[in-house]
Amino acid sequence: MKDKRNKGITLIALIVTIIVLLLLAGTSIQMLSAQNGILTNAELAKNSVDNYNEKEQIETEVFGSFDRKGKLVLETLDSNIKNHIMGVTTNDPVKFPLIVTYTKSGNCYSISEDGDIKKAINYPTALEVLGVDINASTEVEKSPFVNYTDSNENTILCRVLYNDENGIDLISSNALKNNGSYILVTLGLCDPKVTYKDFTYVGSGTMNTSDRAAAASYNRALETLNEEAEKYRNKADGIADSARCVGSLRGTTIDNPDTSLMYNYTGSFWTYMETYNWNGIFKDSDINSYNDYFRMEDLGINNIGTGYWLASRNIYEDSTSTQFLMRFVSESGGMINHGIFLVGSNGSAGVTSGSSTKYGFRPVFHLSSNVKVISGEGTESSPYILDK
6: in domain: no
Percent of the chain at pLDDT exceeding 90:
75
Please state the rounded mean pLDDT for residues 328-334: 97
Do 327 and 242 sit in the same domain of this protein?
A: yes
Please state the rounded mean pLDDT for residues 331-360: 89
248, 223 Cβ separation under 8 angstroms? no
Cis bond leading into 124, ω under 30°? no
23: in domain: no
349: in domain: yes
Q: What is the mean pLDDT of the chain?
A: 88
Do 203 and 265 sit in the same domain of this protein?
A: yes
**pLDDT tens digits along 56-91:** 999 999 999 999 999 999 999 999 999 999 999 998
Do 76 and 197 sit in the same domain of this protein?
A: no
**pLDDT tens digits along 215-246:** 999 999 999 999 999 999 999 999 999 999 99
- List all residues 6 or more positions away from 288 whose beta carbon is below 8 Å from its beta carbon: 222, 247, 248, 249, 310, 311, 312
Phi, psi of 249 (to 5 degrees): -70, 145
Do 66 and 210 sit in the same domain of this protein?
A: no
Do 185 and 223 sit in the same domain of this protein?
A: yes
265: in domain: yes
pLDDT at 251: 86
Confidence (pTM): 0.76
Do 76 and 149 sit in the same domain of this protein?
A: no
**pLDDT tens digits along 81-136:** 999 999 999 988 888 999 999 999 889 999 999 999 999 888 899 999 999 999 99
pLDDT at 49: 46
276: in domain: yes
354: in domain: yes
**pLDDT tens digits along 358-371:** 999 999 999 998 89
269: in domain: yes
Number of domains within the chain: 2
Q: To 10 degrees, the CA torsion angle through 95, 101, 107, 111? A: -30
Please state the rounded mean pLDDT for residues 160-167: 96
**Angle of helix 74-84 relative to helix 38-63, nearest 10 degrees?**
130
Map residue 39 onto helix, strand or coil: helix
- List all residues 6 or more positions away from 368 whose beta carbon is below 8 Å from its beta carbon: 92, 238, 239, 240, 241, 388
72, 114 Cβ separation under 8 angstroms? yes
Do 82 and 217 sit in the same domain of this protein?
A: no
pLDDT at 218: 96
pLDDT at 4: 44
Range of the structural domain that residue 92 is part of: 38-120
- Asked if pLDDT for residue 281 goes beyond 90, the answer is yes
pLDDT at 92: 87
Instruction: Identify the DSSP state of 268.
Output: S
Do 58 and 160 sit in the same domain of this protein?
A: no
Do 156 and 105 sit in the same domain of this protein?
A: no
Do 107 and 149 sit in the same domain of this protein?
A: no
Percent of the chain at pLDDT exceeding 70:
85
**pLDDT tens digits along 10-42:** 555 555 566 555 555 555 555 545 555 544 554
pLDDT at 297: 98
Q: How far apart are CA 40 and CA 167, in angstroms?
A: 42
Do 51 and 160 sit in the same domain of this protein?
A: no
- Asked if pLDDT for residue 45 goes beyond 90, the answer is no
pLDDT at 73: 96
Which is higher by pLDDT, 6 or 95?
Answer: 95
18: in domain: no
Do 220 and 292 sit in the same domain of this protein?
A: yes
